[in-house]
Structure 1
Amino acid sequence: MPRPETFDLVTLAHALPAEVVAAGWLLRRRAADPAAGFAAATGERDGVWVALHDVLPRDAQVAGAWLTGLFAPSSDIEEYYLGQCRETLLPLMHEYGPPPQFHQPWQAAYRRVNHRYAVVAARLAAPGAVVWIHDYHLLLVAGYLRRARPDLRIGVHLQAPFPPVERFLRMPMRDKVMRGLLGADLLGLPDARSAANFLDAAHEVTGLRRGDRLLLADGRMVVATAFPPSIDAARFAAYAADPGVRDRARDLRESLGDPRTVLLSVGALDEHEGVERRLDAYAQLIAEGRVDPLTTVLVHVAAAGSEAAHPAAVQERVDRQVAQINGMFSRLGHPVVHYVRHELDTAELTSLYLAADVLLALPLRQGATLAAKEYAATRLDDTGRIVLSEFSGTAAELPEAAIVNPEDLIEVKDAICAAIELRAKPDDGMAAMRRRVREHDAPKATTAFLDTLDAVTAYRVPDKARATCAR
């Protein structure tokens, strides 16, 4: 089928939902929504996905949708991504780590890259099309598009948490970012706290009156509400039922020394992940005699693709901490902390979820903790326990987990000990979490977001005139 000139659905993201393999393109299956819901989004619409890429062939397709690469000069990409995204927006929104850095060249590059996205989207979108914009990399695009193509139905979906108003006000680009976001018809935030923070900030910056979930901007209704990122639950459940994956889980436990208890932690080497606090809690439990190092191991999987501003500094501290804990408490050939510093494929990750008795999901602030959802999706026998941070948006979705303040090590340690005691007992709470993750998986969440956007814009009189994207 020849590639269309315009599309009913234009998805904009920092990265492609696919990667090159020997046989062509392969959908990235572990990525958060939007990639996990990409097939659902394009099932009934002609869709194209636009992301930064300078060598993408024009006819590239995946999951029935077209892919379009967007070129930007390397100097712009470096200042936009390594500067504004990673050293300004990421620490600003997560409220942890080194203080956000504010530099005018980064801000200018961020505006230029966002404008490039808007120009391409305006060209590719059919009259009245849906444009689906993803995350903090592209906060200005909706505003540019609204001025250029008022006929478009625009949704912005943030996976990073939106910061409290007093923190957002520190950003020199706050007016431009707010105008950008208010260009959307629907703004999806990862949790209710982020939605409230956005509405407060919009009122503070613009003076617009706010409701519980909406604002009126330039005579348009802008709806802002929680749309938590999710996972492809059916895929994880299928791997969990696979005999080969289950055999691999048994082999993993045996390779760990066949311990009585396996604790698992999955998280990038980012300041807001709180990896060092998890290790502190575990080391203290051993030192206090509440956990036996002869029968318990902790496995931490650090995602290789961290977007942290200074991942090398976090990695150095974690490396040192792991070495100290193992030096103090391990037997020869049997470390008490096993540290994996590379990305695992879905089968290997699922085998770890099956091998683990307790998942420690303890970010200091996070829009969604997908590892908790993935773990729940794989526990087909309803055993296992999750210790989950109250500062993750996922805590509201999985209230049956042991919800704790990750800053309170006493509370964290008590929750870990209780989870260890209950780990092997089938639990109605785990069954409820698994059911909820399945009922609100990425394809369904994608459909819900796009259906809501359709409803929000259903009664708007379209203006199909095209204009020039203005900076």
Structure 2
Amino acid sequence: MSRLIIISNRVSAPKDSHSGAQGGLAVALSAALRENGGIWFGWSGETIDQFNGHIHFQQGGGVTTAMVDLEEQDVDEYYNGYANRTLWPLFHYRIDLAEYERGFAGGYQRVNDRFADTVRPLVQPSDVIWIQDYHMFPLGQSLRERGCDNRIGFFLHIPWPPRRLLGALPEAAELVRTLFAYDVIGFHTQEWLDSFCDYAIDDLGAQLDGDVLTLDGRQLQVMAAPIGIDTTEFVAASKSPTARLAYRRMRDSAVGRDLIVGVDRLDYSKGLEERFLGYERFLQEHPEERKEVFLLQIAPPSRGAVESYRKIRATLEGLSGRINGAYADVDWVPIRYVNQGYPRDQLAGIYRAARIGLVTPLRDGMNLVAKEYVAAQDPADPGVLILSRFAGAAAQLEGGAVLINPYSAEEMSDAIVQALKMDRDERIARWRTMMDNVEGEDVIWWRKKFTDALMAPAKVDA
């Protein structure tokens, strides 16, 4: 049986699977490595004065990890620069925030080449390689240039932008051409897949036959495979002692009020400013509800070295302060705004206590918070999910979620009212529809769908 080599920007060090600290992706990839054997390779998160290619190996939970340190310049240009100041905003439709610097692009390619140089000696002829996300678009090509003819797959966890938007990237054509070094590429939704194919066909002249794109004699299988959560584990976590304690704390602190919860990494793509404005519109239009609800927004900070992330944090602090100042009373605060993260079992209890889950990104590759909220609910008395139609998860959960345009404060206000007034029978029916999907297309289903395609024999022309 082929070993699996997983490569990602950061590596999840082996942990106790019951700690509640691992995310769904880490759980799925770790399970794949335990089943197939192999290595999880990536950046350690540490920096050194001069890159030396030294690999730090760790073993635990049946998983072997291999990590390398990078130089400060590497991190500035590859990670903070090209990945998160160029690609991330552009691929999330924020062309106004994208920065284009030759040094960023050069550092991005240099680090991918360094990853290829370092991991190549670890790869055996029968290994299958699975590369994760936008940090490593050119890594497959770099490995091919170093004589690696193994099966190599790539999965993109963020949206793929429309072809005219991608055209704003100076080296867009070169970047897309490098992706034909892969054997299989996966996207979360058909929309992202179609956008990729549109660019490859209309701008590069590729041909599509079924699920195979051909360009310059190179065949690339494309697929839509929406990631899920580890549903069984998350449902169990929602019933754990830690979750029950978190649930009781939230219910006690609510003192009979309805909790609206949002949980998002502090990022402009998550629509947090628009969410606060939509909630403020609700408070303005429905004064009778003001002291009957409160919004808990959990937003752990990220990418503090990037200026746009510092700005969004300052904006939200000012906005939450203004709303609280305008509407709070001596015994009620409309927004509880918390800048820290919580373990997943605690979050499960918080989700379960919430009458409304407010998941309103402006653009998201998937958004697993929506699925976690569904999985954590009490089947006999579930809450209501309000979901942006621009999240990848909307394609799967549209039958049960209340879908909104996150740019519209009116729609958000109306959706909150609809959710608060929704009777139990409708809430149960909507929840059951969503839960069927969350259970049926979980993270194990996602991982198996992709790895089955990647580990299958290459398609050969007739």
- TM-score, scaled to structure 1: 0.89
Does 2:28 correspond to 1:37? yes
1:13 to 8, 15, 27: 8
Over 3 Å counting, the alpha-carbon distance change for 1:211 and 1:360 in structure 2 is farther
2:264 to 267, 288, 306: 267
Structure 2 match to 1:279: 276
> How far apart, CA to CA, are the structure 2 residues paired with 1:272 and 1:135?
17
The more displaced of 125-134 and 39-48 is 39-48
Structure 1 match to 2:37: 46
Is the CA contact 1:90–1:309 (under 8 Å) kept in the aligned structure 2? no
Does 2:252 correspond to 1:254? yes
Structure 1 match to 2:433: 432
Structure 2 match to 1:4: none
Alignment gaps of 5+ in structure 1: 1-6, 461-471
> How far apart, CA to CA, are the structure 1 residues paired with 2:269 and 2:348?
24
Is the CA contact 2:349–2:376 (under 8 Å) kept in the aligned structure 1? no
Is the CA contact 2:189–2:224 (under 8 Å) kept in the aligned structure 1? yes
| Offset from partner CA, 1:208-265 (integer Å, 9 cap, x none) | 1134532013434311221223222222100112255224312212123331x11111
Within-5 A mapping of 1:107-126: 107-126=105-124
Name the SS of the counterpart of 1:210 in structure 2.
strand
Over 3 Å counting, the alpha-carbon distance change for 1:135 and 1:240 in structure 2 is same
> How far apart, CA to CA, are the structure 2 residues paired with 1:30 and 1:424?
33
Is the CA contact 2:180–2:218 (under 8 Å) kept in the aligned structure 1? no
Does 2:208 correspond to 1:210? yes
Is the CA contact 1:268–1:302 (under 8 Å) kept in the aligned structure 2? yes
Give 1:401's aligned amino acid. Answer: A
Name the SS of the counterpart of 2:126 in structure 1.
strand
* Shift, 1:143, TM fit: 1.5
Within-5 A mapping of 1:146-225: 146-211=144-209, 213-225=211-223
Over 3 Å counting, the alpha-carbon distance change for 1:181 and 1:76 in structure 2 is same
The more displaced of 150-159 and 286-295 is 286-295
* Shift, 1:183, TM fit: 0.9
The more displaced of 363-372 and 246-255 is 246-255
Within-5 A mapping of 1:23-422: 29-33=21-25, 35-53=26-44, 58-96=56-94, 98-211=96-209, 213-259=211-257, 261-289=258-286, 292-305=289-302, 310-381=308-379, 383-399=382-398, 400-422=400-422
Over 3 Å counting, the alpha-carbon distance change for 1:387 and 1:100 in structure 2 is same
Give 1:13's aligned amino acid. Answer: S
> How far apart, CA to CA, are the structure 2 residues paired with 1:134 and 1:317?
32
Alignment gaps of 5+ in structure 2: 48-53
Report which of the two has the higher share of helix. Answer: 2
CA RMSD of aligned residues (A): 2.5
> How far apart, CA to CA, are the structure 1 residues paired with 2:355 and 2:383?
5
Structure 1 match to 2:450: 449
The more displaced of 84-93 and 381-390 is 381-390
Alignment size in residue pairs: 451
Identity, % of aligned pairs?
27
The more displaced of 54-63 and 392-401 is 54-63
* Shift, 1:138, TM fit: 0.4
> How far apart, CA to CA, are the structure 1 residues paired with 2:352 and 2:125?
48
Is the CA contact 2:386–2:402 (under 8 Å) kept in the aligned structure 1? yes
Give 1:136's aligned amino acid. Answer: Y
